[in-house]
Amino acid sequence: MTGQPLLSVRGLTRDFRGFRAVDGVDLDVTAGSVHALVGPNGAGKTTLFNLLTGFLRPSGGRIALDGRDVTGLPPERMAQLGVARSFQITSLFPRLSAREHLELALQSGSGLGWRFWRSAKLLRRYRNRTEELLELVGLGAHADTTADVLAYGRKRALELAIALALEPKVLLLDEPTAGMGLEDVDRTVDLIGRVRDGRTVVLVEHNMSVVGRVADRVTVLRAGRVLVEGTYQEVRVDERVISAYLGTAATGVDDVAR
Ligand SMILES: Nc1ncnc2c1ncn2[C@@H]1O[C@H](COP(=O)(O)OP(=O)(O)OP(=O)(O)O)[C@@H](O)[C@H]1O
């Protein structure tokens, strides 16, 4: 970790017809860290996530990536600049194999379009990278399986590999363990541990035990504002965090309060 904020947010605000879902958020994500955004239901985590990835435009405030102002840029521009999010399962092509998804992702990230196929050298390089990414996310044995028959946890792993194919500076994961059974959750925790190497990761996560295992820093949001920021060990015993969770029917309260 270098200690430098790679992603820096100041006074970020987002209104929906007069309702302030994100309200003056300041956030610094250190290069090389895993940074979790948590908070009870309706705290503004998803809205903040969508602001950081360009899927929503802020109503106010600034976002800087590596010192460059990227406020209000659209998602494709954010992705080009190095902010990639793990896409939802619905964005996978049912009839394409895991390998084909990665070849397409690498090709689109190369900026060469179809010209990419003309260069044997490039083709080889991308084939090698495809195999590396498949291994990294544990899909080496499923390279030729089409997305429609990949198990749920493996679909999520494929989405992650697709995001990694863009070689992002910051990888954003939206509830990476949502809907998973215990075994897949453990596998995903391992996976995050592997992919974080040399990367910066921001994740929204409801499962506090996952947060405790993967995150270096935790920002707790409530009612659109930053309530507390610190390590998992710090925030889990913070009275304000405990009462924020106790004040709602949110999941995760047991883990926070324990
Ligand atoms: N498009 C929208 N239009 C109006 N209100 C919205 C919109 N998106 C979110 N909100 C409101 O903003 C607030 C924050 O929502 P958000 O989804 O960001 O919270 P969250 O912390 O991700 O919650 P959850 O844990 O339930 O997913 C909520 O009150 C929500 O109803």
Q: Interface pTM (ipTM) of the complex?
A: 0.96
- d(C-alpha 256, C-alpha 258), whole Å: 6
Average pLDDT on 126-146 reads 93
**Ligand 1 atom nearest to CA at 224:** 14
Q: What percent of the chain has pLDDT over 70?
A: 88
> 247 near 40, Cβ under 8 Å?
yes
pLDDT tier for residue 111 given thresholds of 50, 70 and 90: low
Residue in 47, 174, 205 to alter for ligand 1 test, most ligand atoms within 8 A of Cβ:
47
Give yes or no for residue 129 CB within 6 A of ligand 1: no
Q: Is the pLDDT of residue 39 over 50?
A: yes
Give yes or no for residue 42 CB within 6 A of ligand 1: yes
Gap from CA of 225 to ligand 1 centroid (Å): 13
Domains parsed from the chain with CATH numbers: 1-82+169-258 (3.40.50.300), 83-167 (3.40.50.300)
Instruction: Indicate which residue's Cα is closest to atom 6 of ligand 1.
Output: 16
Residue 144: exposed, middle, or buried by beta-carbon count in 10 A (0-12, 13-18, 19+)? exposed
Gap from CA of 115 to ligand 1 centroid (Å): 42
258 contact partners, CB below 8 Å, separation of at least 6: 236
108 contact partners, CB below 8 Å, separation of at least 6: none
Query: Considering the entire predicted model, what is its pTM?
Result: 0.88
Give yes or no for residue 45 CB within 6 A of ligand 1: yes
Residue in 14, 17, 45 to alter for ligand 1 test, most ligand atoms within 8 A of Cβ:
45
186 contact partners, CB below 8 Å, separation of at least 6: none
Average pLDDT on 47-69 reads 96
- Which of the two residues, 111 and 158, has the higher pLDDT score? 158
Gap from CA of 125 to ligand 1 centroid (Å): 42
pLDDT digits (tens, 9 = 90+) for 67-92: 999 999 999 899 889 998 886 556 78
pLDDT tier for residue 127 given thresholds of 50, 70 and 90: confident
